[in-house]
Each structure stands twice: as C-alpha cells, then as structure tokens.
A and B are shown apart, each in its own frame.
Chain A
C-alpha cells in the first residue's frame, strides 16, 4: 500500500519536502493554516542575495508540485496522536488524516516589535519593521515615510528581538543582517540621495555572496555601518526619529536623526506550534525551537520515530538553507518508510 505522509505547514519547507516526497512515490497531504500556500515568502518582496522575487520563488516551487499532492488549506492542526505504527492528525475544522509519517514544517513567527517599547514601534509612526518595509516595497508605491515625505535618512536596527535576553531570545536569527543590507540597498536604489545607516552589534555575513552584497552596500551605495546597539529612540516635533546608540568603535555616544527607522525583527518559535510539539512530547531547547535528534547527523529526525522536521521550526534559516533542509527531510522520511 502507498504510504501516506502529512506535512504540516506550506511555506517553502513544506512545499519543497512535499514535492520531493511525492516524486519519491509517497502519498502526501500538505496542511496549511492560511488560505494560501507560501508562508512568509508571500509577503517578502525580494530575497537576498540575488534580489529574486519572493512571489516568483514560491510560484516556481508550486509549479513543481506533483498534482497528486493533496493540499489542505485553511486548516489549523490541533492534534497529532501516535496510534500504534501510524499518526492521526486532526484539524480545527474536523479534518482528519491517518499518516505513516509526519513532517513538521511549521516555520517561525516574526518577533513582535511592540515588545521593545523603548524602540518606539507602535508609538512613533516612523518606526517600522523589516516586514513592513517589504510590504511597502511590494506595493510598488513611491517610497515615503508616514508624513508622506521622502526620508533623507533611513536607519536599520539589527537584532530586534534576537540576541536579547530581555525578551528571552538569546539566539541569532541569522537572516536579518543580510536582510538589512539588502533592504538598505533597495532603499538607496529608490532614493539615491538618502543616507542609510545600519546599527549593528556584529555583521553576520555567513552565506555565499553575502559578503559581496555587504561590500556592494559600501562601495556602490555608501551605506554607513555603525557598530552600536540601539538603546532607545525618541521622536521630534516633525516626526523624525532620534536614535541613541554608542558608536562603540569610537567609544562615544551618538545621536542621529532619521526620517524612517526600520527594525530588523527576528525569528521566534510560534506559541501555537509549541502547543503541538508539547502534545507530541517533543523537547524544545531553551531557544524554543525544536531540537533535532542530532544536530549534525540527524538534523531532520526528532526523538519520536516517524516525526520529522524541516525549515525554520528547528532554528532560523535562510530560504536557500530551508529548501535544502526540506529536501534532506524528504530523504530521511523515505529512509524511514522503506
């Protein structure tokens, strides 16, 4: 009999592992809580480092899907139960399936920047997040701040909600450094006369071509990188944001006025998924993300046989890393069901 696999979460990881599993000859059901597949990528205008369109990327993945894959959208998974040698997966709307294996591709949630009150998100109009900025890019409208003016200066704040124990997130979200560089370049392309600043603690340019993008930001776009973490921001009468950091390389406090401040919100493990993993008895580690059986040897396996993980549910990843992880998860499932 054809083995059946339920993949939970239809972001890039879910789509890609479903495609691979289907190609390997399994029956696949892909469950997604939203109306549409694609996850966060739908809302992402362009991907680093190539500036490829998020939407096109998703379309390309979806195009590769085998028509045999059953896609169950608008279904929140509310229960997974291990019964003998299979799992019963059920959704909030009464949907239920039996599965021989389950792949969790539940992804991340964006850090809620309201939680850094001193940064002023939700308080000062011209403090926005990286996600807001992508939306603005995607809208194709003219690039203006909330007062309808072209900002003369734009600031990017790295590590918002990441590497910050005050919000219980010690981990690095990996992608926001390069995203800031990418977005800084895009801003510069839209308003060449604007000055763009990145406030960072460390620039983590770990991926291929990331360093090149960083160099391009310096060389071609004259983006300034200031090593200092934002302590707090205030607003002046005209709605400009006054940023307070220490220029740590000079050892002096620095105050700078920007017309728009972009917070590079990090990745968090979603509480809704936490309920699911608790139900399964999966151990999350202190950073909240799901712990694989072995981080080196079995990065797609969990301590429960038949439950697999791929993508950002097991820690922050770039889209390309997520895709690779999804493929390797498909192989791990095939190995298990052999």
Chain B
C-alpha cells in the first residue's frame, strides 16, 4: 500500500508551493542585472559556494547569531530548522530501508509510519537499522517539539528570550504559524496512535501509543490524525509564500548572492525583494530600535520590511528612522535594513528633483597642499571643534589648508539618506572636483557623516580620508603630539556614523584614555545609542528627538562622569542642548591638554620609572 487519500492535502500543497517558488525565483533571476547574473553564475562554481553552504549551516540551521543573542531564542529557532530538516532527511533514509532503495513518492517518507507497520521486536534494537531509525526519528521529533513548547512560552514570556517586544503578525502569518505549530503535535499523535495499534514506533511514540490505547478508541482516531497531519502540512505550504516563512527558502538564496558579492543596487530590484522575503520577522530588531521610546514601534525594521514586501509602503513609516544602524547590527539574517529604507524613501521622493545648476564652477585659487581639513556643514555650528583642530595642527607643526573655512556645499549624504540619490551624486561630483583640486594626499574631516560618504561614494583617487579622531590618534602614536592627563572621569559616545557606520571605535578611546579615566557605558561601541539628532531621520519632531536624546543621556551618565566626549558635531550639539552634562568633542579635549612633545617622558624613562 503506497497511497491513501489523506496524503492529498500535503501533496497538493507541496506542488503548489513548488510552482510558486519556481515562479518567484524565475522572476528574481529575470529582474537581476546581467552583471549580477554573471556574478551569481560564477559563484556557483567557486569556493564561494562552500562559504555559502557553511553560512547556511551556521546561520539558517544552527542559528549561531541568535544563540549569541539569547541561547533560548537560538535553541528555539534551531530546533525547528535543524529538527525539521533532519526529520526530512532521516525520514527519507528510513523509508529506503523499507522500500529496498527504490525512489518513493514525496509523501511516502513523511507518512511512513502510516504505510509501514513494522511489528518486529528486534534484539539489541538500537543497533539494528530499523531500530536505530525508530529511535532517532522519535528523538528528533521530541527535539522539534521542545522548540515548539519554547515558542509557545515566547508568546507570553518574551523576556526570557531577550525580547521585550515581539512582532505583531498579519493574517497570513497567523494561518501559517498555526498550521506550523500543529504539524508536529499532529505528527506525534498520528504516529503514536498508529504505534498504539501496531507497535513499530520508537521510545516516544510507542510509549505514548500504549498509554493512549488504554484510554482512547485508537482504531477510530488514528486515520483522522493522519488526515489532520497532512492537512496542516498542506495549509502551511499554501500559506508559506505569503507569510514570514517564505524566509526559509529565500534566506539560502540571499546568503548565496551575498557571498557572490552582489549588493542591493537599485530599488526595487531582485536583491531587495530577496532581502524582503528573507526576513523571518524574528523581531530582534524591534527592541534595539530607539523608535520604541517615542511610540514608533511600527517604524522598526521588521515592519518596514513587511510593509514593503506586502507592497503597502507607508511614507511616514519610511521617514521615521534615524538610520542609526542598530537594527542592521542586530539582524541575524544580515538584511541591509538601511539600504531598504533608503530604497523605500527613493520611491516616496521620486517626484522630487533637486537642481544645483546654480553651483557655478569657481576657478581654484589656493596652493596645492598635502593635508586638507574639512569641517563639514555641521562643523560650522561648533566653532569650538574647528578651533581645537587648528590648535592641534599648529601644535604638531603640520601644514594644512582649511578647505571649507568660508563654508562649503553639503557632502550629499543627507540627500542620499532621504532617497534622493541622483541629487546626491551631483553634489558628490561637485565636491570631488573641488577636493581633488587641492592635490592633497590626506583629507581630515570632523564630520562622521562626511567621512562615511567620502569613503563610500567618492572616488578621490589615492587621497586618504580620515576622521580627526583617527588622525589625532596617529599623531599621538607617532609621537608628534603629547597629552597631559587630567583628573577627570569621562564617558565616550560612539557617533552612529563613525562607529557602526565606519567601524571607528578604538582610536578616539585610545586618545581619550591618555587624558581622562574613561568609564564604561552600558550600550557602547557596536551597541551605542543614537543621540536623536540624526540627519537620517526625516520627520520626527523635536519633542520626540529630545526624548530619545534624554534616554541616551541617562545611560551615558549612569556612572556620573564629569564629561561626555563625542566625535561628531551633530551629536555634540544634540547632547549639549539637554544642558545636563558638559559635552566636548575629542578634539577639544585634546586641544585643552596639549603639552610640548619634549616634555613628555620618553617611553624608556617611563619604563624605568614604572
């Protein structure tokens, strides 16, 4: 007997899912840029593939990043993913034991225990092939069910899983998740009932089967249980492409494409669509997002992604985000949440055309120079920082040119973050021309926003771009600047664009440690909070910005420091406006504590003294 009517819901569900997936994948491939397609094709036959497979195993199956975040959460996700996969693979192998190696219809292994009633009692059961499978299949089912119990707990006790808020799901998700959660209990019941009638199960199903047999009329219940099991599978497969579980087949593709070196590119495009479908709505990005503090949970990355995937974009939702990158940092799938937001904004603002034709090309006057300093738009509103930089340069006897002493044009990043890429590129090319005119080898800037775009979007051909904190650190390390320690307890705030944006965490701290005692902050470095002043946020009003600012300050000031140090004019101004702690840029702290180099004890002297 290799067929029964009850397999049909499963079978049709599976066929339906396959058709939909094939259609989706073909569409994505068709939408891809031809260059990306070539990249993807090549990656199929390179070490990249191995890399991707490793990543799939580590992240999609074992959920390594989730584990790191919260072991319980990681275990829950792993038990579902790994458990189910093992059930499928081992189920297949088990079915071969009975079919003598023939290829079976796809439903056969899934419902094996319905078709095969192996009543043999085997000596040393575990060491026989059928016995081993009986055991291991039950064991894995138990493993999956343990994950299910955790998932149920997560509903009410999300704190155990390191989550304060969990994702609110839509109706497709509800159908899908209900059917998913019922699949395994149904399988347990169907197999246990059948084991109760015919034996042939493992330690779990046999035991349960005999208990059930004692209290229930199993001969009437077993067959409906198989129907229920199959139906749940069918419902799950049919709803999957429109639910969050679409991430299961998509995430693997995303990992592969990413390893092939493909980036988001144009929006909407196939890569962005794949990213949208790869989000399991795990909700990890909700808690880390400071939008929660101003009742804008609906703007967090998970809801952005869902609204875009469901093709229900919401301009307000898209605009409300500080582009701080905390969600990007936390996302276990590695979805480019910021890129997607910019993409969504580019659609919202596509009717807006900026016109900078008024920027008449000025002839370059000034001498060519080795080092140029660029304060940036915001830098002009923090003259204390400008003055400090000049003092530091002069103290270290470094010749430099103050490129934007008389003002400048914007670097273009604010436009880019608003989704106005084309307008941004006009400013990029204007600035590039002017910066290149200087013939400099090094461009030092005070603004992390400028820094990020200079490094990412400008082609400055051999010119190095550095944030002033990095440059100061270099000067100190090279012995060109000497600093005097002060009796001072400071905390350092990592600006979003400098830290998460450009990976600069250590240099400003190194410098600061030479002057002050640097206290730890609960959320720092990669986890640093946004000050609330962000230029990436388009629509939030100042009452809300101030709430975010004040909450961040509370965390920064927990250790009661004397001074809050940062390295971004915007952060400085934002924190300063709260008027609750003295705020200084790292350059200002340095400028106030310069000593002449020869007065500093040489390293050897210090060793002798120490």
A interface residue numbers (CB < 8 A to B): 115, 117-118, 120, 123-124, 165-168, 232-235
Contacts and interface: CB of A to CB of B under 8 A. Distances in A.
B383 interface: yes
Given A232-B380, A232-B381, A123 B387 contact: yes
Categorize the interface residue count of chain B. 10 to 19
Contact of A232 (B383, B387, B576, B577): B383
Interface in B16-67: none
Contacts of A115: 576, 579
Interface of B is mostly: helix
Nearest to A115: B579
Contacts of B384: 117, 123
Contacts of A234: 380, 383
B573 A117 contact: yes
B579 A118 contact: no
B290 to A, nearest CB: 21
B586 to A, nearest CB: 16
B382 interface: yes
Contacts, number: 30
B419 to A, nearest CB: 27
Contacts of A167: 577, 579
B381 A165 contact: no
A117 B579 contact: no
B527 to A, nearest CB: 28
Given A167-B579, A168-B577, A118 B383 contact: yes
B383 A123 contact: yes
B542 interface: yes
29 contacts: A115-B576, A115-B579, A117-B381, A117-B382, A117-B383, A117-B384, A117-B573, A117-B576, A118-B380, A118-B381, A118-B383, A120-B383, A123-B383, A123-B384, A123-B387, A124-B383, A165-B542, A166-B577, A167-B577, A167-B579, A168-B577, A168-B579, A232-B380, A232-B381, A232-B383, A233-B383, A234-B380, A234-B383, A235-B383
Contacts of A166: 577
Interface in B556-610: 573, 576-577, 579
A123 B381 CA distance: 12
A36 B383 CA distance: 38
Nearest to B388: A123
A115 B578 CA distance: 10
A166 B573 CA distance: 9
A165 B543 CA distance: 10
A190 B577 CA distance: 37
B576 A118 contact: no
Contacts of B383: 117-118, 120, 123-124, 232-235
A233 B382 CA distance: 10
A166 B577 CA distance: 6
B148 to A, nearest CB: 52
Contacts of A232: 380-381, 383
B577 to A, nearest CB: 6
Contacts of A123: 383-384, 387
Given A118-B380, A166-B577, 5 more contacts: A117-B384, A117-B576, A118-B381, A165-B542, A167-B579
Contacts of B573: 117
A167 B384 CA distance: 18
A123 B390 CA distance: 13
A233 B386 CA distance: 12
Interface in B532-561: 542
Contacts of A120: 383
Contacts of A118: 380-383
A115 B380 CA distance: 15
Contacts of B387: 123
A168 B579 CA distance: 9
A124 B576 CA distance: 19
Contacts of A168: 577, 579
A300 to B, nearest CB: 30
Contacts of A124: 383
A234 B542 CA distance: 27
A124 to B, nearest CB: 7
A232 B380 CA distance: 8
Nearest to B578: A168
B565 to A, nearest CB: 15
A242 to B, nearest CB: 10
Nearest to A268: B579
A213 B384 CA distance: 37
Interface in B156-205: none
Interface string B379-399: 011111001000000000000
Nearest to A234: B383
B476 to A, nearest CB: 24
B93 to A, nearest CB: 69
Nearest to B546: A168
Interface centre among A120, A123, A167, A168 (most CB of B within 10 A): A123
Nearest to A231: B381
A115 B579 CA distance: 8
A18 to B, nearest CB: 33
B427 to A, nearest CB: 20
Nearest to A164: B577
B533 to A, nearest CB: 11
A197 B384 CA distance: 25
A290 B380 CA distance: 37
A117 B573 CA distance: 8
Contacts of B542: 165
Interface in B358-395: 380-384, 387
A124 B383 CA distance: 9
A305 B383 CA distance: 49
A233 to B, nearest CB: 8
B580 to A, nearest CB: 10
B123 to A, nearest CB: 83
A167 B577 CA distance: 6
A181 to B, nearest CB: 28
A232 B384 CA distance: 12
B67 to A, nearest CB: 45
Contacts of B381: 117-118, 232
Closest 3 CB pairs of A and B: A118-B381, A123-B383, A123-B384
Contacts of B579: 115, 167-168
A113 to B, nearest CB: 13
Nearest to B572: A117
Interface in B378-429: 380-384, 387
A312 B381 CA distance: 32
Nearest to B380: A232
A111 to B, nearest CB: 10
Contacts of B380: 118, 232, 234
A232 B378 CA distance: 11
Nearest to A124: B383
A117 B383 CA distance: 7
A117 B384 CA distance: 7
Nearest to A165: B542
Nearest to B582: A114
Contacts of B576: 115, 117
B540 to A, nearest CB: 15
Contacts of A165: 542
A118 B576 CA distance: 12
A31 B484 CA distance: 44
Contacts of A117: 381-384, 573, 576
B409 to A, nearest CB: 15
A29 to B, nearest CB: 34
A234 B577 CA distance: 21
Nearest to B542: A165
Nearest to A235: B383
B589 to A, nearest CB: 15
Contacts of B577: 166-168
A124 B384 CA distance: 9
Contacts of B382: 117-118
